Amino acid sequence: MINGEIASAFNRIADLMEISGESGFRVNSYRRAARTIKAHAEDLAVVAAEGRLTTLDGVGKSSAERIVEFVETGTIGALAALQETLPAALPDLLRIQGLGPKKIAVLHSELGIGGVDDLKAAIEAGAVAGLAGFGVQSVKRISEGISFLEKSGGRTPLGIAWPIAVAMAESLRGWPGVTRVEIAGSLRRGAETIGDVDLLCACDEADPVMEAFVSQENVQRVLAKGSTKSSVTVAIGNGRELQVDLRVVPAGSFGAALQYFTGSKEHNVRVRELAVKRNLKLNEYGLFDGDVQIGGETEAEIYESLGLSCFPPEIREDRGEFDVDVTPSLITIDDIRGDLHMHTVASDGKGTIEEMARAAMERGYEYIAITDHSKSSVVAGGLSVERMKQHISDIRAADVRIHGIRILVGCECDILMDGSMDYPDDVLADCDVVVASIHTGMTGAKADPTDRLLRAIDNRYVTIIGHPTGRLINRRPAMDIDMGRVMSAAAASHTAMEINASWRRLDLKDLHVRQAIETGVMLTIDTDSHHMSQFDQMGYGIRTARRGWTTADHVLNTREITDVIDWIGQKRG
């Protein structure tokens, strides 16, 4: 579907309009349309062809014309016109935490700043702190944001890269003579961000496959084309491109190449050292005893010939995999029985209770928890106490009405600045599941996030700590939390910690997942879905869990519903 591309274009128009000083009404109209477009489950190309665009919420005649233009041409003239009026690198400042369009407009008009390098120079010269709306602390936050952006720059989130890689691999699998195509690299290991996409292919004849690869519809540029390796870029929005490399390897060496190009570098060094100790040679073409190949068609041949188990790709990081006698059986998506964190139209979701329940049933789930936002999350449509009480009744009624799935009453309750909960205990007690999350006040000295989390964990009604560090990948760093204290408190109080499967969060991250397991903390893997389609993000959470060496026993929502309720009741009792 092209919905994501159109939504990105509309958001970029809104950003550029705001930087240019356009009216808030026009800016907000584009943002509202972008939200609708992004959340719409049906391909907008189909909706446009059938003349139904203006039936969508927030899409008027003008927006519909822009959508049709994009569908037909792949561009929007209004966006191109706006981009010509501003320095090409100016919108890149929007990626810096602490800088919004209005502040960027001031920087551009007052100091002539046209990009990150100009901004860094102006900060060093002391010119920014003197501007209206800026100050010493504001400039400090912007400098920290630049540093964070530079560290994360060039890395593409798992949730953006994975669908692209899967689609390109699937296209190649259908080509005549192709016997195998696999995703390799850090993407196969489930890393939260990746540099490039690596694809491996075994085929009868390389040249036609390479031609098919570089000719795929989403290819922006061909960087190289050869008989064994070709490289292209594909667009991923906001003017950025992702490099995809395809290597054609002999079928007899496919396993060795897959092991080699999956990595990590540190893991591969250890494997080669073990080969050398056995007087063997290992490279991407196979495992050799002198000139005789003794393994290479499969990865298992390589590892077993070296006296190792065939490690799951996610733990090939040289973080202890060589130090255990038996590799644990890691969790798979088939182990998941339900999802304990999601939102409906009652707050900021796009699906009703029934729509979310039926979408979960289609995925084979046995239960879900509806966890809409509490009252302090105003921008997310948080529910007042009175609305929450009515929502509880609505969820209970849906649970009775809809057969084939158990629907638990829940809420995502804000942890306030002093660590208290956004709802009183009597409301929390009426919920089956309480996800407690920090959404505001993540930085600064006003409230220590560790203390806030510890107080929330101490509340008898809090079931799960949601997205515990508050990070947004490549956009917002994690809160400064004493994770050791938090994990110990969670384990002692019978409180679960969430692996938020949204690819923008993946929070807890893999290293914290490993820490939780070692501390004896129960985990949940939840999608935080705001739309039925977002249940598909569970796979990203599973990969993160596997990178943290998680087995099904470590995860609450792999259990039957009666066991889930009993586990929650132990803390409440």
For 203-214, the pLDDT digits (tens) are 999 999 999 999
pLDDT of residue 19: 86
Are 142 and 187 found together in one domain?
no
pLDDT of residue 1: 61
Residue type at position 518: E
Are 318 and 351 found together in one domain?
no
pLDDT of residue 41: 65
Are 119 and 199 found together in one domain?
no
The CATH number that applies at residue 14 is: 1.10.150.110
What is the longest distance spanned by two Cα atoms in the chain? 77
**Which residue range is the domain that position 63 belongs to?**
1-86
Q: Does residue 444 surpass a pLDDT of 70?
A: no
Last residue of a domain, one of 200, 220, 248: 248
Any alpha helices (H) in 413-560, and if so which ranges? 425-429, 449-458, 483-493, 510-519, 538-547
Are 259 and 314 found together in one domain?
yes
pLDDT of residue 35: 80
- How many angstroms separate the CA atoms of 185 and 264, rounded? 8
Percent of the chain at pLDDT > 70 equals 98
Nearest to 301 by CA among 264, 257, 267: 257
Residue type at position 565: I
Are 344 and 464 found together in one domain?
yes
Q: Work out the average pLDDT over 219-238.
A: 90
Q: How far is CA 171 from the centre of its chain?
A: 24
Are 433 and 503 found together in one domain?
yes
Q: Residue 395 — very low, low, confident or very high, per pLDDT cuts 50/70/90? A: very high
Last residue of a domain, one of 294, 323, 352: 323
Q: Work out the average pLDDT over 214-233.
A: 92
The CATH number that applies at residue 228 is: 3.30.460.10
Are 115 and 162 found together in one domain?
no
Residue 94 lies in a domain: no
Are 442 and 501 found together in one domain?
yes
For 280-324, the pLDDT digits (tens) are 999 999 999 999 999 999 999 999 999 999 999 999 999 999 999
Q: Residue 94 — very low, low, confident or very high, per pLDDT cuts 50/70/90? A: confident
Q: Work out the average pLDDT over 447-473.
A: 96
Helical packing angle, 3-19 and 77-85, nearest 10°: 40
Q: Residue 556 — very low, low, confident or very high, per pLDDT cuts 50/70/90? A: very high
Is residue 411 a contact partner of residue 423, using CB atoms and an 8 Å limit?
yes
Higher-confidence residue of 379 and 461: namely: 461
Q: Does residue 135 surpass a pLDDT of 80?
A: yes
For 522-546, the pLDDT digits (tens) are 999 999 999 999 999 999 999 999 9
pLDDT of residue 99: 84
For 154-179, the pLDDT digits (tens) are 789 999 999 999 999 999 999 999 99
Is residue 525 a contact partner of residue 336, using CB atoms and an 8 Å limit?
yes
Are 239 and 144 found together in one domain?
no
Q: Could you identify the residue written with the tokens 């829940």?
A: 410
Last residue of a domain, one of 323, 343, 367: 323
Residue 92 lies in a domain: no
Number of domains in the chain: 5
Residue 402 lies in a domain: yes
Residue 51 lies in a domain: yes
The CATH number that applies at residue 452 is: 3.20.20.140
Secondary structure percentages of the chain, helix, strand, coil, to 5? 50, 15, 35
Are 215 and 281 found together in one domain?
no
DSSP-assigned states of every residue in 119-181: HHHHHHTT-STTSTT--HHHHHHHHHHHHHHHHHTT-EEHHHHHHHHHHHHHHHHTSTTEEEE
pLDDT of residue 527: 98
- How many angstroms separate the CA atoms of 428 and 409, rounded? 10
Are 283 and 165 found together in one domain?
no
Are 377 and 459 found together in one domain?
yes
Q: Does residue 152 surpass a pLDDT of 70?
A: no
pLDDT of residue 445: 59
pLDDT of residue 105: 87
pLDDT of residue 36: 84
As a whole number of Å, the end-to-end CA separation of the chain is 48
pLDDT of residue 446: 67
Residue 93 lies in a domain: no
